[in-house]
Structure 1
Amino acid sequence: MKLIDYSIRNYHTVIVVIVMTLVVGFLCFQTLPRQLAPTVDKPQIEVKTEYRGLSPAEVERNITRRLEDQLESVEGMKKMTSTSQHGLSTVNLEFEWGIDKNLAMLDVNNKLQQVKDLPVNSDKPTLRSISSDNSSPIMWIVFDKPNENMPNLDQNYMYKVGEDIIVPGLRRVKGIADVWHFGGEDREMRVEFDPYSMARLHVTYQDVINQLSGENQNTRAGFHDEANRSYTVRAMGEFLNPDDILETVIKRDGEKTIKVKDFATVVDGYQRTASLVRISGNLSNAFGVIRKAGANVVETCNLAAKKVEELNQELLNRGIPIKVKIVYKEVDYIDEAMRLVKSNLAFGALLAVGVLLLFLGSVRSLLIVAISIPVSLISVFIILKLLGRSINIISLAGMAFAVGMVVDNSIVVLENIYRHLTMKKGVFKAAYDGTLEVWGAVLASTLTTLAVFIPIVFIQEEAGQMFRDIAITISASIALSLLVSITVIPTLTTLLIRLKPGEEYKPGFFHQTLFKPFVFLGVKMGDGYSVIMKWLLCYSPVSIIFRVLILASVGWMLLYSVKTLPEKDYLPYGNVGMVFMLIEPVAGTPVETNMRYMAKYEKKIVAMEDVDRNFLVFSSRFNGGGAIIKKE
């Protein structure tokens, strides 16, 4: 085979390729995104439309049904579900697995553009593609008091600080797609009417709405030029305080001028409370950081943590008595999980090397085979980079599984080379003949393994996306180990073992000294196994009975193992240092009432020794709470 012959004769080229592969693989390892689990892109698109103040029935009648009528003709849609609640319509479109999400998003957007009869004051519908990357925050940040003795701050004041400083600052961080903000409401000036005065003055609600809408704006008035200067002229009409609204003229009836103050009062306050957050019993604000699709979780969390330090300094410089604190980072759990997988990976590699040393008995032989482990595994990072994958616990688990598998081909080739060395062929002839003799069997063995894992790569469903990385890593490792076994192994054999034709190959140093008792025991066990198998394979009645018993025992063990399997689950649970609870409030219950109902449970949670802090959130996006567990 030309590839084997070329590798043996041009060992400099092989060594250069090995070094370049290790360097490029290491660089790919450094640049690959790191996240807890692979990205699962669900075939779902969410359409949200807000119209504050509408009841669920009105939202369904005026918004949801009109959207559904238009969206039901979207191509490839399998199922459509909708939810109508106070001031919010949510329509979820589910498609067949494998659909092009970009085309589906474009189709849905085109359908939404054709909806012409939505209420004038409703917000425009917003689209969101559902995937595991944007389904849950990678970091939770809360407002805290710089000093515990300080009085509690107003939640709406904290909300304004969050919207003006914190949210814009975090959104500028590389890798962050969005920031969820819970707690508090925007400022508003509310006009409260006296219906009897309006009836007496013959003023309607529509008159007031139209006049206030027209007056609450600044109007361009052209330009004014002087000798050496040009001015832009504007008519200032935007309301800045309650008095501006009270003095607004609604109607003139002859000599009578009717102003807002004649039939209404103006309250400078905040919008109706729809979001409340309480951290360990105190009102606060919470921020959930959503990463961009494909962004490196570790890098994004580190950049966000650095930004939080800068924001704290900015708040201090502005004299704002608020401190921003990170209470949860997914990177902590990722680091712990990856550290565990990496340690298992290293421990498995050491065990494989130890077993190789025990059975090969030669340091040179061990070195030849052991080199195939890092070469095969580090090369996998190049494949992951080319395929746009990430480093996660699934891909690392696949590499941990492959540690023992990647040396199989190398051991088969090396053992056959040693067999040819005992024939006194010389190292070059033995390396070529030994590799050439078994490369077909090694190829067949590799293909059977690939036939098991490669089909997983083409599964489009959620399970296929979740376990695609493990199939890619194992398949790539095994395929690369085949290439290593027929190129690197014979090349290293010719470099590390110097035997000329006619010279006798001797067992390894360890087999002659330290491991000699194990070699003796192995020989005796082999002889005993041969005697037992000869007896079992003879045609005596006793041997036939023993064969039947052995088969029955194996069958019983298989049946027993099936019955004792652990409970089925989607994925195993891990300790993320946080406990979540989801709460489903009774429809129509104000958030203040819901928070009051949970107060007694909150006190019990805060009193627990293992709880660092707890949180409660009631909003249109999320209702629930949880606890941050103290680190052990």
Structure 2
Amino acid sequence: MDIVKLGLRNPAALLVAVLVVVAAGIYSALTLPVQLFPEIEQPTIGVTASWRAASPQEVESEILEPIEDVLQGLPGVTEMRGGANPGFAFVTLTFSIDTDMQRTLLDVISRLNRLPTLPADADPPRITIGGGGPGGANANDTLIFYFIQKLPGTSGSLRDQYDYINNDVIPRIEAIEGVARVDWGAGGGGGPEHEVQVVFDPYRMAQFGITIPQVSQVVGRAQDVTGGFVDDGRRTYTVRYKGRFQPEQLSALILEWREGRPIRLGDVAEVKVDLERQFDYSFQNGNEAVGLRVIREQGANVLATLNEVKRVFAEMRDGEMKARGLTNNQSFDPSVYINNAISLLTGNLVSGIVLAVAVLWLFLRRTQLTLLVAITIPISLLSLFAVLAITGRSINVISLAGLAFAVGMVIDSAIVVLENIVRMRERGHDPDTASHEGARRVISALFASAATTVVTFVPIVFMKEVEGQIFADLALTIAVGVTISLIVCATVLPVAASRWMKLTPSMSGEARWVDWLSLRIMHLTANNRRRIVVIVALVGVSLGGSWLLFPSMSYLPPVKRDSVDAFLNFPVGTSVDLNREEVGKVVVERLMPYYLGEKQPKAKNFYVIGFPGGGSVAVRLEDESRLDEMMKIMREEILVGFPDVQAFANRGNLFGGLGAEGTVSLHLQSSDADGLADAASRGLQVLRDAFPGVAVFSDPNPEMAQPELAVIPDDQRIQEVGWTRTQVGSVVRALGDGLFLGEQFDGKDRLDIILRAPEWTGPEELEAVPVATPSGAVVPLGDLVDVVRSVGPANISRIDGKRTISLNIQPGRTSPWRTCW
């Protein structure tokens, strides 16, 4: 079929088609999702489960291993990574790209329903799309970070507002389209919740002869019971036995009768409703704050979702939060990078179009001909936007870069076609004939040229791994752009030339410098000897220049954030309270002069976050050009003087979650914990010696340095006083972080009931605690158990069901891979 003739015979139909395509392109450009990077699909499912006050070893055996066992053998799983931490476990399942995730999700839910019974005070597993683990999502999944803090002059504690944040603020943000969830603080998940705390006095209990298992049994078994339904004539009654105590009634609970007088729970314990223990803290701009990390939903329109999240937060800030004496401030905001990147690339795209048209006019020296070629650019680009919408793509830095590259390729075909049409007109052909013959004679060559480009880029579109997903938009825009330009040159351009191009005299003589340059080049290659010399010289210059200018190798370019980020590693076993008082608050005091402008460079905002074992600090400046100066200040002034604390300050990478750091991990696995730790320590030293100046670290730390108090039972003495190992274990749990007794429903929330003792310090004090026993004797706990100072793992990592320590090698900016290996 002669497509050129078809267009010339039906100009009206062609005009309608062009207008439809242009309209679709404009609509697509206005409605396409806008985000920084293409949507990178890394199919993962995360499973998390918490067990309050449990050590990593118990979490591994009672929570993590059972979950891994039921999930073993899932179709499409490429890696199952698990972790046991104090109080919670996580499993992250990574799948192959072609896995049906909807079906797999149902399979995961079905398998988790087959889990054996978990400990009574363990929460049921929670499933998330996108991975488990601390934080639950990588940096590129974070939509925005907000901090909530008190307004100056607001009375009370920020902890008094935790219920409002948990029950009102977070659900309102999670209801926004495009938001997957909102994580509290650095650790992820929800914030601290209220619990019914029964704080007993062990000395008073010993004085009255009340045992801890006795209190546990009486309080824990007080349950409401439904007696069913009873008919009484024309009515049916529901029979309910209200055996559960309300928190305010627990103090009156009778534990035992002595000499005709009751011993009540309030005689030996204080009952109160309070927040559970908090294991993290946050400061923003010098004030105590609650950090909320908003996680995006996969496939969300990032910019539109960001704008809606900011609108809702602003509405709450000026309304209900202000009435409560609260405010909120954003910190990390990807819209800054998105808008800057989009503006930069859009500017480059427009500049490229202008320059291309200017160069075209320089050579053609005909405004009319230049405009005819130039009309192919907007038609082709708008068609590309429509194709991006049809294929489910987004506007991002990669797709816009592809559009910028495509501009030059788009006009190549148009120049060739128009030049041939002009030549035919100069030979005396009428407009239709000249347009038809001029386009028809070169269309085959142009098709072959376009095909080579398409064949080069199209395979990238079908690559399913991360590399293909990153660059698919680039390949798609170039391949489709070249194809569309060929179609436009074969249809639109001949019709436009036949209708609008006037007969002009020959163009010879108007660009004499072009003819002169052409003649000089032809003279240089006038014979075989000269041609060989020119070819060898060009090849030599190309190869030599490539060798001399070859850049350092990296997976992705280092695109730095507009902030200085620092990470703190504390000695294993450091309490969060000590972390907060001796490090967090000191860092805040040191940063305040920069925030207030008393020192330069002035900070726009900053935050300090602490959690078990570590913390993070981020500073943003009014003048972003001074970030390197601020990084030096952080290293030499802000983060120094903290014994045994390791601090690393740098500028974060925007490609952090896509492997831009180039980290290589070596996984060591063994069931022998001591042997595994020893091998990991030796491996770390070998790698550090082999790669000086390169960051080498392990996950988790192979050193067993988490302080422990090992409580070893004396079975003979336990049986002599009438107890069992299990009962003594409950006593130790109550004297520790608290013994779970059950739940209390207050009509809105379910509150855990926790039996705990006042805080004590050191094993000696624990051993001296008096406990009443079933035999009637009151003995110190040390008579029944031995308390030994020991150490254990701070956390446990498992890959595919085996204990694992990963040795990670991460080259810095000055140590690219080409110089490391």
Please say whether Structure 1 and Structure 2 have the same fold, judged by a TM-score greater than 0.5: yes
8 Å Cα contact 1:74-1:111 kept in structure 2: no
Q: Which of 184, 197, 207 lines up with 1:190 in the alignment?
A: 197
8 Å Cα contact 2:570-2:614 kept in structure 1: no
Bigger mean CA deviation after superposition, 551-560 or 2-11 = 551-560
- In structure 2, relative to structure 1, the CA distance for the partners of 1:620 and 1:594 (3 Å cut) is closer
1:625 has 2:617 as partner = yes
- In structure 2, relative to structure 1, the CA distance for the partners of 1:385 and 1:220 (3 Å cut) is farther
Bigger mean CA deviation after superposition, 456-465 or 519-528 = 519-528
Could you say which residue in structure 2 is the equivalent of 1:579?
564
Residue 110 of structure 1: CA displacement? 2.5
Residue 387 of structure 1: CA displacement? 1.2
Q: Which of 392, 405, 410 lines up with 1:406 in the alignment?
A: 410
The aligned length equals 608
Could you say which residue in structure 2 is the equivalent of 1:506?
505
Could you say which residue in structure 2 is the equivalent of 1:2?
2
- In structure 2, relative to structure 1, the CA distance for the partners of 1:507 and 1:154 (3 Å cut) is farther
1:478 has 2:482 as partner = yes
- In structure 2, relative to structure 1, the CA distance for the partners of 1:13 and 1:94 (3 Å cut) is same
Could you say which residue in structure 2 is the equivalent of 1:531?
523
Give the Cα–Cα distance (whole angstroms) in 2 for the partners of residues 90 and 119 of structure 1: 16
Letter in 2 for 1:463: E
Bigger mean CA deviation after superposition, 262-271 or 412-421 = 262-271
| TM-score when normalising by structure 1 | 0.88
Residue 170 of structure 1: CA displacement? 1.4
8 Å Cα contact 2:223-2:242 kept in structure 1: no
Give the Cα–Cα distance (whole angstroms) in 2 for the partners of residues 538 and 452 of structure 1: 32
Map 1:401-440 onto structure 2 (within 5 A). Answer: 401-440=405-444
Letter in 2 for 1:348: G
Q: Which of 126, 139, 142 lines up with 1:137 in the alignment?
A: 142
Give the Cα–Cα distance (whole angstroms) in 1 for the partners of residues 207 and 150 of structure 2: 51
Residue 333 of structure 1: CA displacement? 1.6
Give the Cα–Cα distance (whole angstroms) in 2 for the partners of residues 267 and 427 of structure 1: 94
8 Å Cα contact 1:577-1:630 kept in structure 2: no
More helix by share: 1
1:386 has 2:393 as partner = no
1:209 has 2:216 as partner = yes
Letter in 2 for 1:615: Y
1:521 has 2:513 as partner = yes
- In structure 2, relative to structure 1, the CA distance for the partners of 1:218 and 1:311 (3 Å cut) is farther
8 Å Cα contact 1:134-1:293 kept in structure 2: no
- Residue 319 of structure 2 aligns to a residue whose secondary structure is helix
Bigger mean CA deviation after superposition, 580-589 or 388-397 = 580-589
Q: Which of 265, 268, 272 lines up with 1:263 in the alignment?
A: 268
- Residue 582 of structure 1 aligns to a residue whose secondary structure is strand
- In structure 2, relative to structure 1, the CA distance for the partners of 1:586 and 1:61 (3 Å cut) is farther
Residue 210 of structure 1: CA displacement? 4.3
- In structure 2, relative to structure 1, the CA distance for the partners of 1:486 and 1:361 (3 Å cut) is same
- In structure 2, relative to structure 1, the CA distance for the partners of 1:219 and 1:208 (3 Å cut) is farther
- In structure 2, relative to structure 1, the CA distance for the partners of 1:346 and 1:574 (3 Å cut) is same
Could you say which residue in structure 2 is the equivalent of 1:155?
158
- Residue 583 of structure 1 aligns to a residue whose secondary structure is strand
Map 1:193-592 onto structure 2 (within 5 A). Answer: 193-195=200-202, 197-198=204-205, 203-215=210-222, 241=247, 243-251=248-256, 257-315=262-320, 319-499=323-503, 505-507=504-506, 516=510, 519-534=511-526, 537-538=527-528, 543=530, 547-548=532-533, 551-552=536-537, 554-574=539-559, 576-592=561-577
8 Å Cα contact 1:46-1:92 kept in structure 2: yes
Could you say which residue in structure 2 is the equivalent of 1:76?
76
Letter in 2 for 1:65: E
- In structure 2, relative to structure 1, the CA distance for the partners of 1:24 and 1:538 (3 Å cut) is closer
- In structure 2, relative to structure 1, the CA distance for the partners of 1:211 and 1:39 (3 Å cut) is farther
8 Å Cα contact 2:565-2:617 kept in structure 1: yes
Give the Cα–Cα distance (whole angstroms) in 2 for the partners of residues 60 and 309 of structure 1: 43
- In structure 2, relative to structure 1, the CA distance for the partners of 1:145 and 1:116 (3 Å cut) is closer
8 Å Cα contact 2:575-2:612 kept in structure 1: no
Could you say which residue in structure 1 is the equivalent of 2:60?
60
Give the Cα–Cα distance (whole angstroms) in 1 for the partners of residues 7 and 108 of structure 2: 56
Runs of at least 5 residues in structure 2 that lack an aligned partner in the other structure: 132-136, 595-600, 625-821
Give the Cα–Cα distance (whole angstroms) in 2 for the partners of residues 522 and 469 of structure 1: 37
Give the Cα–Cα distance (whole angstroms) in 2 for the partners of residues 419 and 293 of structure 1: 54
8 Å Cα contact 1:277-1:617 kept in structure 2: yes
Give the Cα–Cα distance (whole angstroms) in 2 for the partners of residues 43 and 585 of structure 1: 33
| TM-score when normalising by structure 2 | 0.69
Residue 221 of structure 1: CA displacement? 9.1
- Residue 143 of structure 1 aligns to a residue whose secondary structure is strand
Bigger mean CA deviation after superposition, 522-531 or 100-109 = 100-109
8 Å Cα contact 1:222-1:234 kept in structure 2: no
Give the Cα–Cα distance (whole angstroms) in 1 for the partners of residues 88 and 107 of structure 2: 23
Letter in 1 for 2:173: L
- In structure 2, relative to structure 1, the CA distance for the partners of 1:175 and 1:95 (3 Å cut) is closer
8 Å Cα contact 1:158-1:284 kept in structure 2: no
Letter in 2 for 1:55: S
- In structure 2, relative to structure 1, the CA distance for the partners of 1:111 and 1:164 (3 Å cut) is closer
Residue 233 of structure 1: CA displacement? 9.1
- Residue 119 of structure 2 aligns to a residue whose secondary structure is coil
Residue 218 of structure 1: CA displacement? 9.3
8 Å Cα contact 1:189-1:268 kept in structure 2: yes
Runs of at least 5 residues in structure 1 that lack an aligned partner in the other structure: 500-504
- In structure 2, relative to structure 1, the CA distance for the partners of 1:182 and 1:528 (3 Å cut) is closer
- Residue 53 of structure 1 aligns to a residue whose secondary structure is coil
Give the Cα–Cα distance (whole angstroms) in 2 for the partners of residues 487 and 93 of structure 1: 52
- Residue 624 of structure 1 aligns to a residue whose secondary structure is strand
Q: Deviation digits for residues 297-349 of structure 1, max 9, x if unmatched?
A: 111111112212221243257x3111122233211221111001000000000
